[in-house]
């Protein structure tokens, strides 16, 4: 019994602007969550054996959480679904286990002793909705037409993929919003989210949740980012569960190493393990399908929050970015970058790659690693396979042709850099996670300022009639990135050395002058609010013209955009 995307939002409380709160959920309920999903509810008298599972059913990815509720257990599963459908509460009635019995999965012990902590799956077929651009449509003759974009249609386009999830329940996380806006078709970005019951610690210790928010910036195709959406959180969870199974209180370094191990294990599956599997499949079709995530590539940023310690870990592979916003008094905010842009322009990354390949001229040139912008990636196996292997796989499965400069691979790694930050819910902390498209358009300070203003407008209770006069009193964006003329008063770093970041480049490309950007607030979803202002704000002519661009020309002026905003706080 599969429910639509709206049900996922209800599974964590209620969907903003959607159906009323779900009467079936209690304050003690915890649900795992994945984007663009539906929920599965079933009652069972089976004992609680595995709190968290992942399965595949008819090519569909499911996340499943089992909770013991006295004489019966409640199964809450998150199922990937392409299209939402009207929510029907009568669909929550108990049903049989046919779908669960049809699932194909194998168990993976987290440690040699103790109960099974998780279930891994045989990966399902990767899927991507190819209609996310929101611009083109089919007429009666099945011909693609280009429609004009008025303000109402623009808002529909911007809000098409937005999602808002209220969490609460004493977790210290109030809500998170996400949105995606495509340039490529299908979009090469992806994202995933999950809330999982944390392993129990010593008796008497409070239980809590592990929360994950991931953004994946794909390139040369969508299959790698889709694979990360499907598998990265589960790989990291398994490694973390192993760390907590060996000791009730693993050290910071042990936790970081577990996260790194999850990243590297998944990339090894994509790039190495699948090669031997592909050779045994016997057909070019099946081999090419299995190797697709290795041939394309993706950056990844995964945030991991433990509600017990209030520690937020940000693991970054590539050039996605996470920034923390924190109240600095009054209507002022501070911005703290929690990740470092890992590109060939980053001096530390350039030095690392060069040191790994001594004597190889121009391995890093013009801010790129053998022509690639990011210096750490998933996939992109042509930079990781030996040259002879790439040539054989090109002939067998049409893999990419290796460059002549490939001498001592691998030139890329998926191992992330990790930062740890103590979250202060009492100060209204929030984080913004974005693919590099966001940071090409806005600076850290501008993004934090936008979210801060969105928050403060809601607290002030400003109506639409008063909105314009209020915003007229605020200074315009300077585009300078220093935040001195916005509502961001300081920028800080969790370490002594500030993380590397590239400045925004799109405003100059679009011909926007330094003080011509005016923020607007008209969206309930804060991720949509950030995206709208990144693409032009109140300049309808600019933003609508960007959306009219098609094909490869669109990519020259804007990239696929993914934004996730997470609000921390204590419920009042």
Averaged over successive runs of 10 residues, the pLDDT of the chain (572 residues) comes to: 32 34 32 36 32 37 38 32 26 27 24 28 60 41 60 94 91 95 94 93 77 97 97 97 88 97 98 91 89 96 97 98 93 93 95 95 94 97 92 86 92 98 93 97 94 79 36 38 50 67 85 78 95 93 90 89 95 65
**What does the block give as tokens for 82?**
């392409």
C-alpha of 246 from chain center? 29
pTM, 2 dp: 0.75
Distance CA 108, CA 245 (A): 14
Q: How many residues does the chain have?
A: 572
What's the chain's Rg over C-alpha atoms?
23
Distance CA 399, CA 392 (A): 9
pLDDT value, residue 467: 39
CA nearest neighbour of 177 among 519, 398, 521, 434? 434
Distance CA 483, CA 257 (A): 35
pLDDT value, residue 458: 78
pLDDT value, residue 200: 76
CA 424 to each of CA 167, 324, 327: distance values in angstroms, whole numbers, following the listed order = 17, 11, 10
**What does the block give as tokens for 481?**
């990135």
The three-point CA angle 556-561-566 to 5° equals: 160
Calculate the CA dihedral of residues 60, 75, 178, 136 and round it to 10 degrees: 30
Beta bridge partners of 75: 42, 66
Answer yes or no: are the C-beta atoms of 103 and 59 closer than 8 Å: no
């Amino acid at each position: 019994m599969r429910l639509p995307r709206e049900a996922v939002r209800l599974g964590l409380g209620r969907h903003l602007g959607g159906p009323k709160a779900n009467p079936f959920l209690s304050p003690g309920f915890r649900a795992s969550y994945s984007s663009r999903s539906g929920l599965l509810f079933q009652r069972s008298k089976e004992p609680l054996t595995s709190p968290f599972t992942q399965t595949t059913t008819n090519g569909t990815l499911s996340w499943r959480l089992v909770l013991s509720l006295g004489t019966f257990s409640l199964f809450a599963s998150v199922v990937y679904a392409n299209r939402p459908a009207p929510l029907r509460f009568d669909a929550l009635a108990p049903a049989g286990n046919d779908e669960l019995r049809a699932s194909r999965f194998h168990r993976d012990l987290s440690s040699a002793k103790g109960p099974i902590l998780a279930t891994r799956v045989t990966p399902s077929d990767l899927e991507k909705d190819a209609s996310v651009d929101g611009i083109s449509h089919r007429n009666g003759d099945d011909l693609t037409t280009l429609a004009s974009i008025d303000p109402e249609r623009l808002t529909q386009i911007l809000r098409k993929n937005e999602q808002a999830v209220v969490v609460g329940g004493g977790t210290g996380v109030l809500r998170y919003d996400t949105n995606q806006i495509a340039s490529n078709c299908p979009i090469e970005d992806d994202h995933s989210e999950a809330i999982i019951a944390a392993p129990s610690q010593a008796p008497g210790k409070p239980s809590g949740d592990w929360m994950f928010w991931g953004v994946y910036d794909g390139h040369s195709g969508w299959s790698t980012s889709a694979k990360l959406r499907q598998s990265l959180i589960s790989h990291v969870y398994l490694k973390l569960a192993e760390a907590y199974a060996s000791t009730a209180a693993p050290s910071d370094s042990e936790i970081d190493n577990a996260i790194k191990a999850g990243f590297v294990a998944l990339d090894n599956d994509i790039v190495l393990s699948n090669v031997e599997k592909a050779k045994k499949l016997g057909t070019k079709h099946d081999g090419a399908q299995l190797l697709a995530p290795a041939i394309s590539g993706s950056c990844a940023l995964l945030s991991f929050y433990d509600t017990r310690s209030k520690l937020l870990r940000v693991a970054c592979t590539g050039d996605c970015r996470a920034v923390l916003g924190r109240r600095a008094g009054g209507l002022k905010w501070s911005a703290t970058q929690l990740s470092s842009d890992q590109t060939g322009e980053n001096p530390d990354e350039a030095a690392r790659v060069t040191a790994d390949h001594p004597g190889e001229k121009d391995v890093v040139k013009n801010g790129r690693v053998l022509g690639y912008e990011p210096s750490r990636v998933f996939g992109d196996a042509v930079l990781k396979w030996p040259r002879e292997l790439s040539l054989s796989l090109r002939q067998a499965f049409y893999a990419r042709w290796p460059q002549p400069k490939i001498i001592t691979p691998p030139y890329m790694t998926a191992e992330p850099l990790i930062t740890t930050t103590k979250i202060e819910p009492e100060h209204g902390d929030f984080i913004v996670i974005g693919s590099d498209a966001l940071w090409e358009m806005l600076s850290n300070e501008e993004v934090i300022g936008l979210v801060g203003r969105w928050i403060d407008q809601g607290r002030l209770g400003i109506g639409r009639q008063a909105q314009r006069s209020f915003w007229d009193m605020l200074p315009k964006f300077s585009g300078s990135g220093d935040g001195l003329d916005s509502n961001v008063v300081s920028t800080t770093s969790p370490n002594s050395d500030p993380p590397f970041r590239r400045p925004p480049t799109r405003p100059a490309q679009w011909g926007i002058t330094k003080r011509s950007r005016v923020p607007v607030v008209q969206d309930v979803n804060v991720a949509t609010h950030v995206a709208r202002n990144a693409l032009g704000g109140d300049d309808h002519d600019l933003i609508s013209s960007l959306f009219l661009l098609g094909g490869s020309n669109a990519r020259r002026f804007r990239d696929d955009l993914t934004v996730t905003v997470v609000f921390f706080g204590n419920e009042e």
